[in-house]
Amino acid sequence: MNHKTASISIAVGATLWGIIGLFVTYLYEMGFTPLQVVAMRVLSSLVFLLVYVLKKDRRLLHIHPSDSKLFVGTGVISIVFFNWCLFSAMGETSMSVAFILLYTAPAFVTIFSRLLFKEWLTNRKLIALVMTVVGCAFVIGLLPNAIEPISVYGFLLGIGSGIFYALYSIFGKFALQKYDSLTVTFYTFLFATIAVLPFSGIWSELSLLRNAEVWLYIVGLGLLSTTLPFLLYTKGLSTVESSRASIIATIEPVVASLVGLLVFQERLTLWQYGGIVMVLAAVMIVQETKRNKAEVSRLDTQLQHERG
C-alpha cells in the first residue's frame, strides 16, 4: 500500500467513525446505557472480525503469548480507558469541552512519535496540528471567549481521553511491527471485550435485545462504524506515520457535525463552517508531496554525513 492509498484508507475509516452518532443515539433512545453501548460495540465487532479472519486466513489468529501486552495496550489501555475518560469528562464538564480535549490526541501522537519513533516534526505537521485543534474547537461549538470554567478533575479526564485515544496509534505501531493489521485489530477488540463486558450489565437488558430494530443498530454500530474503520485505519497506519494518521483521522468530528445537520437538523454556525474548512485544510496540508519527502531524505542523509 502506497502513502496515498494509505491516507485515503485512514480518511474513509475516520468518515465511518463520524457516522457512529446515528447508531449510538438510537440505541440510547431504546434504553441502553453508554457502557452497554460500548460493550455492544466491541463485542459485535469482535464477532464480525472473527468470521472475517476465519474465512480469510486462520493463521492470523496465532500470536505469541508474550505479545499479549501489546493488545492490552491497544484494547484495554486505549479503547476502554479512552471511552471511560470521554464519558466521564462529559458528565464532569460538558460535551463540547470533553470533545475538544479528546482531539488534543494528534498533539500527543506527534510528541509520542517523535520520542519513540524519531519521526520528523516538520513545519507542515505543526501548522496542521494548530489548525486541527482550532478547527475542531469551532466545529464542536467551543467558540472564542466562550470557554466555561471546568474543574481540574474534568480537565484531567478530558486530557486523559486524548492521551488514551492517541495511544492506539502508538501501541498499534509496535504491534504492526510483528503482526498483520487484521491480527492487531482482532486482538484489540478481544481484549477490549474481555475488559468491559463483565462491568456492562448488558445481560439485564435481554428484553430490549429481543427487538429486531435494536439488532439493526448493533450491526451498524459494530460493522459500519467500528470493524470497517478500525481495519482501514490500522491498515493505513502500517504505511503512514502515526502523527500524520492521527491528524487525517480528525475528519471524524467534521463528518459527525454534518450528520447532525443533515439527519438530526442541528444548525451549524458560521464558526462551525469555518472549523470544517480548517480541519479539511489541515488534512491537505499534512500530505507532503514526494518532492518534500525527497528533500527531507536528502537533508537526513546530509546530517548523517556531517555527524559521521
C-alpha cell, 64: 505469541
Measure Cα distances from 259 to 139, 178, 254 in Å. Answer: 12, 37, 9
Average pLDDT over residues 104-127: 76
| CB-CB contact of 279 with 254 (8 Å) | yes
- Position of cell 507532503? 288
Q: Which band of pLDDT confidence, cut at 50, 70 and 90, is reported for residue 298?
A: very low
Measure Cα distances from 179 to 52, 217, 238 in Å. Answer: 16, 31, 10
Please report the pLDDT score of residue 215 as a whole number. 94
**Cβ contacts of 189 within 8 Å, gap of 6 or more:** 42, 45, 46, 49, 75, 79, 230
**189-212 pLDDT per residue, tens:** 999 999 999 998 898 888 898 899
Within 10 Å of residue 29's Cβ, how many Cβ atoms?
9
pLDDT beyond 50 at 72:
yes
Average pLDDT over residues 79-103: 74
Please report the pLDDT score of residue 147 as a whole number. 45
Please report the pLDDT score of residue 306 as a whole number. 35
Q: Bigger pLDDT: 138 or 165? A: 165
In this structure, which amino acid lies at residue 290?
K
Of 181-190, 231-240, 287-296, give the lowest mean pLDDT range: 287-296
Domain boundaries along the sequence of the chain: 3-306
| CB-CB contact of 162 with 108 (8 Å) | yes
Please report the pLDDT score of residue 288 as a whole number. 53
pLDDT beyond 80 at 182:
yes
Q: Which band of pLDDT confidence, cut at 50, 70 and 90, is reported for residue 128?
A: confident
Of 31-35, 125-129, 261-265, give the lowest mean pLDDT range: 261-265
Within 10 Å of residue 61's Cβ, how many Cβ atoms?
14
Mean pLDDT of the chain: 79
Q: Bigger pLDDT: 143 or 186? A: 186
Output the 3-class SS for the chain.
Answer: CCHHHHHHHHHHHHHHHHCHHHHHHHHHHHCCCHHHHHHHHHHHHHHHHHHHHHHHCHHHHCCCHHHHHHHHHHHHHHHHHHHHHHHHHHHHCCHHHHHHHHCCHHHHHHHHHHHHHCCCCCHHHHHHHHHHHHHHHHHCCCCCCCCCCCCHHHHHHHHHHHHHHHHHHHHHHHHHCCCCHHHHHHHHHHHHHHHHHHHHCHHHHCCHHHCHHHHHHHHHHHHHHHHHHHHHHHHHHCCCCHHHHHHHCCHHHHHHHHHHHHCCCCCCCHHHHHHHHHHHHHHHHHCCCHHHHHHHHHHHHHHHHHHC
pLDDT beyond 50 at 290:
no
C-alpha cell, 96: 463540547
Backbone angles phi, psi at 33, to 5 degrees: -90, 165
Using alpha carbons, select from 229, 103, 254 the residue that is nearest to residue 164. Answer: 103
pLDDT beyond 80 at 82:
yes
